[in-house]
Structure 1
Amino acid sequence: MSTDFQQAREALGARLRELRLSAPGGRLTGTRLAQRLGWPHSKIYKLENGRQTATTDDLRAWADGVGRPHAFAELDARLKGFESRIRSWRRQLSAGHRPVQDGWNAEVARSAVIHAWEEAVVPGMLQ
């Protein structure tokens, strides 16, 4: 289950990747951008995949690093839009997993057919 907050982080990451790949000086690799910014290359990929939330300073550095300082305003506006999503996420965390499980149970109760995938299959000879 993906939250609004996680979806927003992933959307921001996709935009960061787009800026990196369409840099004015030519397509930048993540490693090359990390070298320019003095960051570990893993930070680039965490930001782009929505596994880490960027800070305002991160976004400013990214925009400058890809040669598009004018893109900072757009990126910062997206980050500020996270505030409501962060509140929603924190509210969900404070409530614990019970509401999530209750939502899942309601979906199961409404369903007429449930398809499941079983990864541990016994080979035909042993059946």
Structure 2
Amino acid sequence: MQRTYSPSVRRRRLAAELRRARDLSGLTGLRAAKELGWPHSKLTKIESAKQGVKAADLEALMDLYKVGDRDTREAMLRLARESKERGWWWKYRDIFGERALPDFEAEASGIRCWQAQLVPGLLQTPDYIEAVFRAGNAQDDAVVQRHVQGRIERQHILNGVHPPRFAAILDEGALRRQIGGREVLHEQLQHLCNMATRHNIDLRVLPFVAGEHQASNGSFTVLDFPNPLDVPVAFTETVTASMFVEEPAEIATYNDVWSNLQGAALTQARSAEFIQKVMRDLT
């Protein structure tokens, strides 16, 4: 069974709690680090969630900030422990990287995905996944199959007892591009129709006739979390790298772009009809 929390999200939450505790204590970061005999850079990395914190260091911080409530201290220590654990995706770190999208998906209550070129990874069929990676740099059969298995395991997040709300807007081009050929695409589109009937999935299509829109710079995913302390995260990919965006001002821009796409996309019902029409065009 996949874990229901994200070590990275827990580290970010602990960092936020420590910043708040320091602010309440009236100490600056520089002063707090000096009191503990630490380099200022160490505290900065902990407070920005760029590094974890040892239990002894966390105890020292809580003592310095006069965090006396027993439940609060235990909650912080629990966050520190959970932030060090490894999720199922760790065994696929060679393909996901050490800062992995599945890590954040594990705790997301909502996932919003705009895809201009391909079907979203969480909704791809095995044959479609294989075709995507064969078209890229992964030509070796073993490497391709490892990518396929990793992505299929990632999709389990949508099948849990309390799955996240998954909203996807697909450009018409992503539906018509014959990844893997006509048969593979037809099967993929049928899978989209099936998944779109689930209560937690909102699937929309942005047709070519919608014209210009604000997301022409590329695809992106925004993840929302149930705890208000956990600010949303946006994820984007380029040819050579992937990037997480966490600054509130930038997240606000992604939210604005998402709203623009929603306004231009077809309704759920019309999107389902549109996908079925694309399927008929393939036969």
Which interval holds the TM-score relative to the shorter structure? 0.5 to 0.7
Distance 1:18 1:65, change over 3 A: same
**Partner of 1:7 in structure 2?**
9
Deviations 1:42-64 (A, max 9, x none): 11110011000111111101001
**Partner of 2:36 in structure 1?**
37
Which ranges in structure 1 are unaligned for 5 or more consecutive residues?
Answer: 101-106, 118-127
In 1, Cα distance between equivalents of 2:89 and 2:64? 31
In 2, Cα distance between equivalents of 1:46 and 1:89? 24
Q: Which ranges of 4 or more aligned residues in structure 1 deviate by more than 6 Å? A: none
2:18 to 10, 16, 20: 16
Please give the root-mean-square deviation of Cα atoms over the aligned residues, in Å.
Answer: 2.8
CA deviation after TM superposition for structure 1 residue 77, in Å:
1.4
In 1, Cα distance between equivalents of 2:56 and 2:88? 24
Greater strand percent: which structure? Answer: 2
> Are 1:20 and 1:66, in contact at CA under 8 Å, matched by a contact in 2?
yes
Alignment of 1:7-86 (within 5 A): 7-23=9-25, 27-70=26-69, 71-82=72-83, 84=85, 86=86
Which ranges in structure 2 are unaligned for 5 or more consecutive residues?
Answer: 1-5, 101-114, 120-169, 172-205, 207-214, 219-283
Distance 1:58 1:33, change over 3 A: same
Identity among equivalent positions (%) equals 25
Distance 1:88 1:8, change over 3 A: farther
Distance 1:83 1:29, change over 3 A: closer
> Are 1:60 and 1:69, in contact at CA under 8 Å, matched by a contact in 2?
no
TM-score by length of 1: 0.67
CA deviation after TM superposition for structure 1 residue 74, in Å:
2.0
Aligned length: 104
Structure (1 or 2) with the larger CA radius of gyration: 2
2:118 to 91, 105, 109: 109
TM-score by length of 2: 0.33
Structure number with higher relative contact order (C-alpha < 8 Å, ≥ 6 residues apart): 1
CA deviation after TM superposition for structure 1 residue 66, in Å:
1.1
CA deviation after TM superposition for structure 1 residue 83, in Å:
5.0
The DSSP-based 3-state class of the residue aligned with 1:68 is coil
The DSSP-based 3-state class of the residue aligned with 2:75 is helix
**Partner of 2:95 in structure 1?**
96
